[in-house]
Chains A and B, each alone.
Chain A
Amino acid sequence: MNTRTETGLRIGMAALFVLVGVGGALLARDFTDVGRWFPFYASLGIACMAATVLVQEIVAARRPAEADDGTGAGAVTDDASEADAEPTLRTNLLWWLAVAAFAATVYVVGLFVAAPAFVALALRYGAKVRWRNCALAALIILGAVYGISEILSLPMPEGLLW
């Protein structure tokens, strides 16, 4: 669990929340008395809790390093677990990026073009599906999206081009 990347992420996350809390409290000072109460105290609570978590994470991050000083075994374990952990985190973020790229494509060409393209490419490169089947899946999603939009009269995100 305590890989260098994850430790950095843990500390970064807690630090981010400290900033959110402090920023939220500072911005809340400009609100009227009635509107200030909840956001100000929620922000203050976030800042205090996040600071506590930040201290805990820093203390926890220092512990294995101190243990490694004596035997060196800790460093081996860390490297091994890091090798296991890194691809999962990276793969998670890559898939998130793929979804973000899909959303950006929808913004440009609209859902009716972007959805079949995304499904076909994701199946081809994510699941190694044959091109012919990818094309079939693209047609299915196009039909499903079109059918839902027509039957339920749902507005679909339109792109800049279509």
Chain B
Amino acid sequence: MIDAAVEALGIILSPDRLLWILAGTCLGLFLGIVPGLGGMVGMAVLLPFVYGMDPYSGIALLIGMMAVVQTGDTFPAVLIGVPGTVGGAATIMDGYPMARSGQAGRALGAAFFASMLGGLFGAAVLFAILPIARPLVLSAGSPELFMLSMFGLSLVAVLSRGAPTKGILSGLLGVLLATVGLAPASTDMRYTFDSIYLMSGIDLVVVALALFAIPEIVELVSEGKAITRNRAKLSGGMPQGVRDTMRNKRLVLQGSAIGTVLGILPGIGGSAINWIAYGVAKQTVRKNNRFGKGDVRGVIAPEAANNSTEGGQLIPTLLFGIPGGGTSAILLGGLVLLGIQPGPEMADPAHMPILLTIVWTLAIANVLGTALCLCLARPVSLLTLVPARLLGPFLFVVIILASYQATHQWGDIVVVLVLGLLAVIMKRLDWPRVPLLIGFVLGPGAERYFTISTSRFGSDWLTNPGVIVIAILIVGSVFLGVRRQRTPGMPMPDKALEEEAR
């Protein structure tokens, strides 16, 4: 295994392949920075180019792009409160408030470094797990996946900022919204009102843009101020952000482990994993009363998780041909174009150099992407000093353009406007919007796995050991979350924290 790893490193360190990694990394960062595009668009764009390339160069290009989309999406999430990809939504919760208090540099530094560590963790796990991946993936059936979805849904009570009734209501609205369209296990067209657009359901990108991008930018342009007026700490805080990440090693490890392990399980999805990492971090850290208001730990946890997810998702993609997400699904096509057939035979020693080239590319692209992001942070951070009314019109054009890219139908734009209006009013009235997105993300998976579990096992699945363990986790996490909300331990005065922020 070690010999094969050294051989793969030699293959990938050739100048032309390093250039392909650089090209993929630059494209990945660009796709992450522009809201609404993301890894799927990148994969789709790259597929025609990889045809005819040698497999190692093609892998360098595809994996290089895939590895850093989640790093680049931190820029819009932190600086303007717009998710670059759906996975970036959790980072907004604390990253954007930090940018508004003039700590954009600190948030970006922490996020990029956590992303890099998470990505390296994912690559290391991918390397270590190759020999034992098969039993691990097969151990999680539909009952365990249903319970994992319920674990994510249980976080709505924790993430509802002291308004649990509104939080649960918001989460249920998300679940209901996710049921629009063709039912997963029957022929019901649910809540489509004879609209062809609604028959395929509402796209997650559209919902995320409506819930976060529209209200944030509308409020910014209404106020007419810049995102921040604190020039001093704009990008100068980056070393502090890196130190924050180093100080929170446990949180990085926890986020990376959640990202990798849940990434291995097909069907959970990167966006859900980030929210789970964020929710678990909020429950497990001390003095969490600043979470959601600009706590750097709320940036570190989801950022570590989202990059490590890529490593995890590659395990079922490569070893079983089961894509862990949309990007992996297109990657499968790309690998086939390169003459590589993903599946159990990939675990054969003959294919080991290919697999290990992927591992190395993932690691190199993460380091390269982080270095590029740290270089770009200062010029890009200056955007937050531009008055919002100058920036806003451009951002609105980007939002409309990005929402149209979801399914290329006018319905996307209509939905983003209608849900956007709802989100503007929800923000104005302090209704929690995060649970709505969590409900929307996890609802379909929960329904699908519940239906499969009950149709296959009746009620017997309730006694599965895995199900019981996750159920205990859910009860414990809800209990802990509710207890913390009722008795906030050692609350830190907001004024003191604001002073510290300045």
Binding site for B on A (CB under 8 A): 6, 9-10, 13, 17, 20, 24, 27-28, 31-32, 34-39, 42-43, 45-46, 49-50, 52-53, 56, 88-89, 91-93, 95-96, 98-100, 102-103, 106-107, 111, 115, 118-119, 122-123, 126-127, 129, 137, 141, 145, 148, 152-157
Contact = CB atoms under 8 A, between A and B. Distances in A.
Interface stretch (B163-171, B356-364, B488-496): B163-171
Contact of B188 (A32, A53, A154): A32
A49 B328 CA distance: 38
Contacts of A156: 401, 404
A61 to B, nearest CB: 13
A137 B417 CA distance: 24
Nearest to A89: B428
A119 B391 CA distance: 10
Interface residues of B: mostly helix, strand, loop or mixed? helix
A58 to B, nearest CB: 14
Given A38-B179, A95-B218, A152-B45, A127 B429 contact: no
A96 B213 CA distance: 12
Nearest to A10: B429
Nearest to B444: A38
Name which of B34, B397, B450 has the most chain A CB atoms within 10 A of its CB. Answer: B397
Interface residues of B, number: 59
Interface in B167-197: 168-169, 172-173, 175-176, 179, 183, 185-188, 190-191
A43 B183 contact: no
Interface string B432-458: 000000000001001100110001000
A137 B421 CA distance: 27
Contact of B172 (A37, A49, A148): A49
Given A13-B431, A38-B443, A122-B392, 4 more contacts: A27-B191, A49-B166, A96-B421, A148-B401
A102 B401 CA distance: 12
Given A31-B186, A32-B188, A96-B420, A20 B396 contact: no
B37 A92 contact: no
A102 to B, nearest CB: 7
Interface stretch (B15-23, B248-256, B371-379, B405-413): B405-413
A45 B168 contact: yes
Nearest to B423: A96
Name which of B165, B392, B393, B447 has the most chain A CB atoms within 10 A of its CB. Answer: B393
A45 B185 CA distance: 22
12 contacts: A9-B429, A42-B175, A42-B179, A42-B443, A50-B169, A89-B428, A92-B222, A103-B414, A103-B417, A123-B389, A157-B410, A157-B413
Given A9-B425, A9-B429, A39-B191, A118 B397 contact: yes
A52 B426 CA distance: 17
B1 interface: no
A119 B394 contact: yes
Contact of A6 (B172, B191, B399, B429): B429
Name which of B176, B392, B420, B446 has the most chain A CB atoms within 10 A of its CB. Answer: B176
A13 B429 contact: yes
Contacts of B186: 31-32, 34-35
A155 B446 CA distance: 33
A45 B399 CA distance: 32
A85 to B, nearest CB: 9
A31 B188 CA distance: 6
A27 B455 CA distance: 24
A162 B187 CA distance: 38
Given A53-B166, A153-B45, A99 B400 contact: yes
Interface residues of A: mostly helix, strand, loop or mixed? helix
A126 B388 CA distance: 10
Interface of B: 34, 37, 41, 45, 165-166, 168-169, 172-173, 175-176, 179, 183, 185-188, 190-191, 214, 218-219, 221-224, 387, 389-390, 392-394, 396-397, 399-401, 404-405, 408, 410, 413-414, 417, 420-421, 424-426, 428-429, 431, 443, 446-447, 450-451, 455
A7 B391 CA distance: 32
B289 to A, nearest CB: 21
A156 B190 CA distance: 29
Nearest to A154: B405
Contacts of A119: 393-394, 397
B219 A92 contact: yes
Contacts of A92: 218-219, 222, 424, 428
Nearest to A85: B428
A158 B405 CA distance: 13
B159 to A, nearest CB: 16
A74 B166 CA distance: 27
Nearest to A36: B188
Contacts of B37: 152
A156 B402 CA distance: 10
A35 B401 contact: no
Contact of B413 (A103, A118, A123, A129): A103
A102 B190 contact: no
Nearest to B175: A42
Nearest to B412: A157
Contacts of A129: 390
A112 to B, nearest CB: 11
Nearest to A99: B396
What 3 pairs between A and B have smallest CB-CB spacing? Answer: A35-B188, A122-B393, A35-B183
Given A38-B443, A92-B218, A115-B397, A126 B176 contact: no
B417 A95 contact: no
